[in-house]
Amino acid sequence: MPLEDTWQIKPEDIRRLRSRLGLSQQQLADKLGVSFATVSRWENGHTKPYRWLGERLRQLDEQVIGDTDRGPSAPTGAVTPMMATPRLDFLAPSDAVRAAAEAEWLAYGYLANPTFATETSLIDPLPHQRIAVYDVMLRQPRLRFLLADDAGAGKTIMSGLYVREMLARKRLQRILIVPPAGLVGNWQQELQTLFRLSFRIVNGSDARSGNPFLGPDSNRVIVSVDTLTGETLRKRLADPDVQPYDLVIFDEAHKLSADREPDGRIRKTQRYRLAEWLVGAASDDEDIILGWSAQHVLLLTATPHMGKDYPFFALWHLLEPEVLSTPDMLERYPDHERQKHYIRRTKEEMVTFEGKRLYPTRVSTTVAYPLSPLERQLYDRTTAYIRETYNRAAGLNRSAARLAMSVFQRRLASSAYALATSLKRRQDMLDQYIVRAENHQLDIAAEQARQRAWEDDPLESMTGDEEASDNGREEHEVAEDRGTSALLASSLTELRSERAEVESLLALAHAVLAQADEAKFQRLRELVRDPRFAGEKLLIFTEHRDTLTYLHDRLEALGFAGRIAQIHGGMPYQEREAQVRRFRQPGSHGGGRHLPCHRCGRRRN
């Protein structure tokens, strides 16, 4: 009986059609351009075909019926035009025929070369990368894996190599990559450049105009972990029409944190709940039910164990939720089973094919510098201002006071220029408060109540690669603006008193800058000009963009104009990459020698 309605196709209809065609699940999958796992899910009733795939199944069904109606005279095997004897045409362009034949040959290249992806990618895998992908990961029929090599081992490359090999073997079709916000562009760029794999970046706005997880262009998707925790996108992903994702990759997986409180309660972050939801470990009380779980799960982190046992167990629980249901089960888990799910190599273990160490020995040195008398005065007076203001305001608005004072503490440690910038912003805001208070337009209680709802300081709760940026401004910069605008006084008298103190501190900071011999910068200048580092490229990290600007201007004034590249988290990904490429160029070709970095998502050596 023909398949009358695409959306009424039943699992038994698909099994019957495949039987009449004389095809295996893999052969039917090849004919439709999907994975055999997808066909298996259809036949088991776990999912339904896309509308266009359902239409293709209906066409195949009609062709079978037509062949049956023609009677026994029809040649055996002539069930579809694709299986029939091809019509010969010698008029086609030879280049096109050659390209088609080459493509067909390459589609089965992995049968002749088990490491075929290395031949079609712009990489030369290192020994530890080959071992992880070809000796461990590809041998798992169902990958549930924690790749925990040291930072810089190339976990993105290993992931891309695994994906490329699995696609060649037709064991994957739909892939979902979930990194921190700051690494979304990095993933898209590296997969496209190194492996010629095109991935679509999904943002929160995509969910407002449709479902980004539907349609052929949803098969390879990158979405930040914090974006995907949002209710709207999770609802889109849980749509019954969405086909399951075969592989889910979580980058920086240690951010998927869960911990056990002293009273025995389990505290899970929203990120961890998202991971549970995708891997099939979600509890029954979830507000949005996902009707499937990923077949393959890959967790990437350089810090799997951060000194606490339960968060480490929580990562393992994501790999095998039913087997590793408690920490005791993980303790009893056999070593030979662990090796199927976990690998960790330190930089000291990573070598070339010749046995030489990949990374030189790392030497860490703290460089001390004495403060000038004027700098010491600025430091002492700012510290006193921070202490006195916080103590006075803590009883009124503790959260706002803590945020405001942490801004000044960090900027005091960063540079006099950064401190002066924040003091000026604070002075301007105090002027506004004073004018409003004098005109009886300032409701102090209402203003402080509004500020109590401010969120925590992103610099204390996030790393640079987790912060999102909006119009070139990072989350912590927006929070710092809130901090310098906090209302920490209970009267007009206190506002005027603080305003006078801030004005005095600002004048002192300007005096330090006017001397142009800030102790920290003088020490940096000595290191830059040290003969031991002649010809070396230098990376300079700073927490605040104001300090980045200050360093850039001062280094240019020292004669390094045109030889400085700079990056910060507010830059578009493409611009950051352009600056990094410039930095890597030889100095004789216009390359930079110094790369001041502000809250870099990833360090580069």
Tell me what the mean pLDDT of segment 497-513 comes to.
94
Do residues 279 and 271 make contact, with C-beta atoms less than 8 angstroms apart? no
pLDDT at 599 over 50: no
Q: Residue with structure tokens 């900027």?
A: 411
pLDDT for 88? 60
Higher model confidence: residue 60 or residue 224? 224
pLDDT at 114 over 50: yes
**216-225, 283-292, 488-497: lowest mean pLDDT where?**
283-292
Phi, psi (degrees; rounded to nearest 5) at 317: -60, -35
Per-residue pLDDT of 257-306, as tens digits, reads: 888 888 888 889 899 999 999 999 877 667 888 989 999 999 999 999 87
Tell me what the mean pLDDT of segment 484-508 comes to.
89
Mean pLDDT of the chain: 83
Tell me what the mean pLDDT of segment 21-43 comes to.
85
Q: Residue with structure tokens 């510290």?
A: 383
pLDDT at 439 over 80: yes
pLDDT for 596? 58
**21-30, 85-94, 524-533: lowest mean pLDDT where?**
85-94
pLDDT at 167 over 50: yes
Do residues 506 and 427 make contact, with C-beta atoms less than 8 angstroms apart? yes
Tell me what the mean pLDDT of segment 467-479 comes to.
59
Nearest alpha carbon to residue 571 among 202, 203, 177, 186: 186
380: confidence class by pLDDT, cuts 50, 70, 90: very high
Tell me what the mean pLDDT of segment 1-21 comes to.
72
| Core vs surface per residue 103-113: b (16+ CB within 10 A) or e | eeeeeeebeee
Strand blocks (E) in 498-558: 538-542
Higher model confidence: residue 112 or residue 202? 202
Do residues 245 and 35 make contact, with C-beta atoms less than 8 angstroms apart? no
Domains, the chain, ordered by start: 1-109 (1.10.260.40), 126-349 (3.40.50.10810), 373-515 (no CATH), 519-598 (3.40.50.300)
Nearest alpha carbon to residue 375 among 549, 539, 499, 518: 518
pLDDT for 249? 98
Phi, psi (degrees; rounded to nearest 5) at 308: -125, 135
**147-151, 428-432, 593-597: lowest mean pLDDT where?**
593-597
Phi, psi (degrees; rounded to nearest 5) at 254: -65, -15
**99-108, 234-243, 246-255, 290-299: lowest mean pLDDT where?**
99-108
Structure tokens at 509: 């900071």
Question: What is the rounded distance in angstroms from the CA atom of residue 393 to the CA atom of residue 400?
Answer: 9
Structure tokens at 59: 């066409």
Per-residue pLDDT of 40-67, as tens digits, reads: 888 888 788 877 788 888 888 877 765 5
pLDDT for 341? 95
455: confidence class by pLDDT, cuts 50, 70, 90: low
pLDDT for 458? 47
Higher model confidence: residue 192 or residue 305? 192
